[in-house]
Structure 1
Amino acid sequence: MDTKEPKNIEAPSAAGSPPDGPDHEGHVVLIPRPSTHPPRSPGILQQNWSLRRKYIIAAVLCLASFSGAVAPLSGQLNLADQEKLYTKTKIQEAYANSAALAGMAGGPFFFAPISHVFGRSSVIFWCILCTLVCQVWGAVMTHSDDYIPFIMSRLFAGFFGAVPTVLGPRIVTDLFFLHQRGRAFTALHMSFLFGTIAGPTFSGFISANAFFPVEFWWTVGLLGFTLICCFCFLEETGFDRVNFERNPDVPQNLVANRFATFFFGQSVVLPSTWRETAKIAAVPFLIGICPVTIIMGIFTLISFGFYVGVNALTPVWLQKPAAEGGYGFTLKQNAAFTFCHWVGIIIVQFYGHWLNDKLPLALARRFNNGVWKPEYRLHVLWLPSLILNPIGLGIFGAALQYHLHYMVLALGVFIVTIGSLASVPVTVNYVVECFTHYPAEAGIVIGAYRIVYGLTISFYINPWVAAVDVGWVYGMMAFFAVFSFFFVMLLMWKGHAIRGIQFASLASSEEGEKLMEEY
C-alpha cells in the first residue's frame, strides 16, 4: 500500500461538490476525497488517519481472519484417529470439513446485520471468543458416541470463524483509498486462505504422534492471542461521513474506549433499530439476485470451488492405501505435503500485491484517460484463472489416474493453489466496488458462492469417480474452469450495462471517478 500521506487536500463542500483543486497523491487522485472537517472524535474520517494507525488495524484484522480460518479446519488431516474412535470411513470423517465450510458460508449472513447494531469490531471480538469455545468443544469430543457433537463443533467453529473476513471488506473500504484497496483486499483474503492451509499443516505435525484432540488445543492459544490484539487495537469504523452530527461521541480515555467498543458496542456506532437491522439482513439476498453478482458468483463457484474440492479431498487420496489407489501417506507425510499450498499462496501474495492495483490503474490511464471502471480489476485474472487453474486440475487428475509420483500430484496442487487463490481478492474487490454502500453484504454473497461447491463435494465424489474414473473427474473440472472464465469476459465486455440491471437502492460504484491527474 502507498506509504505517502495526503497533503494539502481540500474538502468537498457540504453539498458534496468536488473541491476547486485536485486531490492527489503524486499523480493519483484520492477517492473518496479526504475531508478537513474537524472530527468530533478519533473515530470519524478514518481515511484521514495516519498510515501507521491504519496498518495496525489492518494487521490485526488479518490476524483475526487467519485465526478464524485456522480453527474450523484444524482437524482436516488426522482422519485415522477419528476413523478408529468414531468407527467411520475417511469420507465420513471428511464431513467435518463440509460442516466447517457450511458454517463459514452461513455465519456471515447472521453476523453482518448484527454488526450494524453492535459495531464491527465488537462482533469480530466476540466471534473470535466463540470460535475459541468451539475449539475446546471439539477437543473434548473423545468418546465413541461423540461423532455428531464433533461434527457440530466444526459447524459452529466455521459459523463464528469466518466473520472477521466478511466484516473486513467494510473496514478496508472505510480505511483505505480506492487505489490502495486491491493490495489491502489481497492481504485480508490471503490471511484467511493461508489460515485454511496452515491450520491443517500445523495440526498434522502436532498430532502426528499424539491423540487427535491436541490439534485443537494449540489453536486455543492462537485465538487467545488474537483476542488480546483485537481488544487492544481494533477500532470502530462505522460512521456517517456526511452528517457528522449523527455520530456518537467516542470516549477518549483508553480504558473507557475499549470497554465502550467491545462491551457496549452500540454506544460507539450509529443508532440503528432492529427493524433497520432486519432490512439490512435482506440486503445480501437482494445483492445475490443482481445479474452482476450472479455472473461473478458462477465464475467463483466453479473456479474457486474446484480448489476447495481438491484441498478437502487431498488427505483422503494421500492416506488411502496404495492398493486402493492412494499413496499410503502417514499423517506427518500428509502435513509435509501441504507445503505445496504454502509456496503457492506466498506466490499469490506477491502477485496480488504487485499487480492487483497497478494493472487496473495502468489500464485506466492507457485506455480511459485515467477515469475509473471497476471492470479494470478483472484483467488481473487472465493468467491465474484461464491458464493456470485448468492446467493444475489436469495434472492433479492425471497423477491420480495413472498413480504418478506424489511430486506430480504436488505440482498439480501447487498450480491449482495459485490459479484459484489469486482470483479471490479480485472477485471480492470487484463485487464490493459494484455495491460500495454494502461491502460486507457483497462479500458475504461471493463468499457463499466460493464455499458452496467445496462443502458438498464429499457427498458425491465417490459416485462421480465410479462413473468416469478419477482422472476424468478432475479433467472435467479443468474444462469447466475454462468455461467459467467466459463469465469474467462477459463482465469485461458489458460490465457497465450489466451493473445497471439492479435495485436502485443498492446501486453504487466509483465508476467515472478521475483517478489520474496530469501535471
Structure 2
Amino acid sequence: MDSTELMDSKEQTYVEPSSAAASKNHDGHLVLIPQPSTHPRDPLNWSSRQKYVILAVLCLASFAGAIAPLSGQLNLGQQEMIYHKTKIQESYANSAALAGMAAGPFFFAPIAHILGRSSVIFWCILFTLVCQVWGAVMTHPNDYIPYVMSRLFAGFFGAVPTVLGPRIVTDLLFLHQRGRAFTALHMSFLFGTIAGPTFSGFISAGAFFPVEFWWTVGLLGFTLICCFAFLEETGFNRESLHKNPEIPRSLVANRFATFFFGHSVVQPTTLSETVRIGITPFLIGICPVTIIMGIFTLISFGFYVGVNALTPVFLQKPVAEGGYGFSLEQNAAFTFSHWIGIIVVQFFGHYLNDKIPLALARRWNGGVWKPEYRLHVLWLPSLVINPIGLGIFGAAMQYHLHYMVLALGVFLVTVGSLSSVPVTVNYVVESFTKYPAEAGIVIGAYRIVYGLTITFYINPWVAAVGVGWVYGMMAFFAVFSFFFVMLLMWKGHMIRGIQFAHLASSEEGKKVLDD
C-alpha cells in the first residue's frame, strides 16, 4: 500500500492497514513524522513494497559485507601451520578486520554525499569481493602480512552498507517504523559476523583453508546483482524541490546514472561541503550525548566482541592447556549458540523496539515524542541478561564446566549485548536527524574499539586475575555501564542540548500519536 494512500491531506495522520487494530493498540492514529512532500520522488511517498525491497537489499548487503572480513575466524590451525604463527597471532587478522570496519565508514560517508548512497554501497560490495579473492590466494608462508591486510580492507569496504543504511532508513521510513527497520538492518550485519565463521568452518573443515573465502565470492556477487537491480538513490530535498536533479526514467539509463555516474542523481556539492561532512562524525563524537551513549556501547557491546573473537582460541586450545580441544567442525557447531541469540533478539526487537517507546509516549506524555523513550527497551537485556551471561561464561572457563554451560553464557551475552545495538544507534541517529549516517558511524566505532584491542591484552589480564575474574569483572562493568543509559533517560533532553548548534536536530516535542 502506498503511503500517500494512507495519508489524510488535512490531518496528516497515518492509518495502519488494519486501522481498527491501530486504534486499539495506540488509542489513536500515528502521526507521520517527518511530514512527506507532495512530490512522487519523495522516498516517503514510495510504495511500501518498494521501501521494504530496498530495506531487504540493504540487509543482504550488510549481511554479506559482515561475512567477508571475518570468514577466516575459526580455521586457525591450517593458517598456524602455513604462516608459522600462534593462534593468538592468527587472531590479529580478526582485529585487522574490525579496524577496517571502524575506519572505512569515516572515509566513505563524505564520498556518499558526492556519488550517492546506493552507488557507494554497490562499489564497496564489489571491492569487498576483490578482497576475498585476495585473501584466498594468500597461501605462501610469507603471505601472513598480506593476508592480514586483506582482512583489513575487507572490513574497510564491508562495513559501509551498515553505516550508510541508517541514512537510507531515515530517508524511506517514518519515525514509528524505524525501530523495526534498524533492528533488521543491524541484526543482519551482526548475524553476518556469526554466520561467516560458522559457514566457513563447516566448508573448510575437510579442505584447504582458502575455500572459506571462495564461497563468499558467490554471495557477494549475488548481492551486487541485487544492489544493481533494486537500490535507488534516496537523497531528496523536501524544502527546495527544484534542487533535486532529474532522474532518468528508463531502466538502463537509470541504473547507469545511479551506479556509474552517481553524481548525476544527487544534489551538487562543493569541496567545502564535502570536507564539512567529513569532519561531522568527529564533531558528533565529542558531543556529550554521543560520549555518554558511546561509553555504554563500548562496554556493553565490546565485551560481546571480545567473547566472540576469543572463544575460538579457547575452544580449540588442547584440554591439557585449559581449553576444550574442539575440532573445527565442533567449533563451527558451537557458534549456533550465537545464532539462537540473534534470532531471539530479532524476534523481540521487531515487536518491542517501536511498541514500547510509542506506549511510553502515550502513557507519560500525551503522545508527544522524546528520543529517550527508546532507551527503556534496554532494562532487561543490558542490566540483567548481559551481566549474568558474562558471569556464567567466566565461571565455565574458570572451572572448565561442560561446554553447554559455556554455550549458555554465550547465548545470554549475545542476547544482552546485541539487543542494545539497534536501540543505541536509533537513539543517537534521532539525536542528530540531519546526519544519521555520520551519527551511526560514530556509535559503530565505539562498538568495535574494545573488541579491536582485546586480543592484545587479554592474556596479561587473565594471567593477572584468572579467566573467571576477567569475565566476572566484565559483568560488573556491564552493570556499571547501564548507569550511563539511566543518566540519558533522566537528563537526556538537557544533555542533547549541549552540542554544536548546526548539528542540533531531533524530533522531540512532535506529537506522534493523534487521538
**How far does the alpha carbon of each residue in 1:96-155 deviate from its partner, in whole angstroms, 9 at most, with x for none?**
000000000000000011000000000000000000000000000000000000000000
Distance 1:274 1:425 in 2: 32
| Paired position in structure 2 for 1:427 | 424
Aligned position for 1:21: 11
Pairs within 5 Å for 1:359-370: 359-370=356-367
Deviations along 1:258-291, whole A, 9 cap, x unmatched?
A: 0000000000000012221011100000000000
Residue identity opposite 1:441 in structure 2: E
2:26 alignment partner in structure 1: none
What RMSD, in angstroms, separates the aligned Cα atoms of the two structures?
Answer: 1.0
- Out of 119, 143, 148, the residue aligned to residue 146 of structure 1 is 143
Which of residues 91, 96, 100 is equivalent to 2:97?
Answer: 100
Once residues 68 and 226 of structure 1 are traced to their aligned partners in structure 2, the CA distance between those partners, rounded to angstroms, is: 9
Letter in 2 for 1:304: F
Counterpart position of 2:61: 64
- Rounded to whole Å, the distance in 2 between the matches of 1:217 and 1:327 is 29
Name which of 25, 33, 36 aligns with 1:34: 36
| Number of the residue aligned with 1:15 | none
1:459 corresponds to 2:456: yes
**Residue 399 (structure 1) aligns with:** 396
Aligned partner letter, 1:300: T
1:5–1:237 CA distance, 2 compared to 1 (3 A): closer
Counterpart for residue 411 of structure 1: 408
Q: Distance between the aligned counterparts of 1:227 and 1:8, measured in 2?
A: 33
Partner of 2:23: none
The counterpart of 1:262, out of the listed 259, 264, 267, is: 259
User: Which residue of 1 is the match for residue 198 of structure 2?
Assistant: 201
Q: 2:373 aligns with which of 353, 368, 376?
A: 376
1:161-190 Cα offsets, whole Å, 9 max, x none, are: 000000000000000000000000000000
The one-letter code matched in structure 1 to 2:95 is: S
Asked whether the 8 Å contact 1:9–1:35 carries over to 2, the reply is no
Tell me, yes or no, if the aligned pair for 2:6 and 2:14 is still in contact at 8 Å: no
Q: Which residue of 1 aligns with 2:333?
A: 336
Q: Aligned pair in 2 of structure 1 residues 372, 269: CA closer, same or farther (>3 Å)?
A: same
Does the Cα contact within 8 Å between 1:22 and 1:517 map onto a contact in 2?
no
- Residue number among 232, 243, 251 corresponding to 2:248 in the alignment: 251
- Residue 23 of structure 1 contacts residue 33 of structure 1 at CA under 8 Å; is this kept in 2? no
Q: What TM-score comes out, normalization by structure 2 length?
A: 0.97
Alignment of 1:230-379 (within 5 A): 230-379=227-376
Give, in angstroms, the shift of residue 241 of structure 1: 1.2
1:515 Cα deviation after fit: 0.8
Distance (whole Å) between structure 2 residues aligned to residue 255 and residue 4 of structure 1: 25
Contact 1:9 1:34 in 2 (8 A): no
Q: Letter of the aligned partner of 2:297 in structure 1?
A: T
Structure 1 residue 50, shift from structure 2 partner? 0.4
Match of 1:486 among 475, 483, 488: 483
Q: How far has the Cα of 1:22 moved from its partner?
A: 4.2
One-letter amino acid matched to 1:490: L
1:285 to 1:497, Cα distance in 2 relative to 1, 3 A: same
Tell me, yes or no, if the aligned pair for 1:112 and 1:441 is still in contact at 8 Å. yes
SS at match of 1:449: helix
CA contact (8 A) 2:37 2:238 kept: no
Separation in 2, partners of 1:327, 1:389: 23
- AA aligned opposite 2:510: E
- Aligned partner of 2:155 in structure 1 is 158
Paired residue type of 1:351: F
1:128 pairs with one of 125, 130, 138 = 125
Q: Report the TM-score, using the length of structure 1 for normalisation.
A: 0.96
Is the Cα contact below 8 Å between 1:24 and 1:517 reproduced in 2?
A: no
Cα distance in 2 between the residues matched to 1:197 and 1:82: 20
Cα offset, 1:5, TM superposition: 3.9
- State the distance in 2 between where 1:9 and 1:303 align: 40
**Partner Cα distance (2:124, 2:11) in 1:** 44
Question: In structure 2, the residue corresponding to 1:329 is in which secondary structure?
Answer: coil
- The 1-side partners of 2:307 and 2:261 are apart by 43
Partner of 1:9: 7
Q: One-letter code of the match for 2:384?
A: I
- Per mean C-alpha deviation after superposition, the further-off stretch among 471-480 and 26-35 is 26-35
Q: Distance in 2 between matches of 1:328 and 1:140?
A: 29
Indicate yes or no: 2:208 matched with 1:211.
yes
Q: 2:266 and 2:514 mapped to 1: Cα distance?
A: 36
TM-superposed CA distance for 1:9, in Å, is 3.2
Provide the C-alpha distance between the structure 1 equivalents of 2:12 and 2:147, rounded to a whole number of angstroms. 58
What SS is found at the alignment partner of 1:187? helix
Whether the 8 Å CA contact 2:295–2:446 is kept in 1: the answer is: yes
Q: SS in structure 2 opposite 1:28?
A: strand
Preserved contact between residue 2 and residue 47 of structure 2 (Cα < 8 Å) = no
Q: 1 or 2, which has the higher helix percentage? A: 2
Partners of 1:75 and 1:113 lie apart in 2 by: 30
The whole-number CA distance in structure 2 between the counterparts of 1:31 and 1:337 is 43
1:28 partner amino acid: L
Answer whether contact 1:390 1:478 (CA < 8 A) is retained.
Answer: yes
Number of residue-to-residue matches in the alignment: 503
Contact 1:393/1:412 (CA < 8 Å) preserved in 2? yes
Cα distance between partner residues in 2 of 1:210 and 1:370: 59
Q: Is the 8 A contact 1:10 1:35 kept in 2?
A: no
User: What is the CA distance between 1:242 and its match in structure 2?
Assistant: 1.0
Letter in 2 for 1:163: V
Matched letter for residue 385 of structure 1: S
Closer/same/farther in 2, CA of residues 366 and 263 from structure 1, 3 Å limit: same
Tell me, yes or no, if the aligned pair for 1:169 and 1:185 is still in contact at 8 Å. yes
Partner of 1:190: 187
Shift of 1:7: 3.6
1:103 is matched by which residue type in structure 2?
G
1:77 aligns with 2:67: no
Once the two structures are superposed, residues 459-498 of structure 1 have per-residue CA deviations (whole angstroms, 9 ceiling, x without a partner) of: 0000000000000000000000000000000000000000
Q: 2: CA distance between counterparts of 1:6 and 1:295?
A: 39
Amino acid in the other structure paired with 2:393: F
User: Quick one: which amino acid aligns to residue 431 of structure 1?
Assistant: V
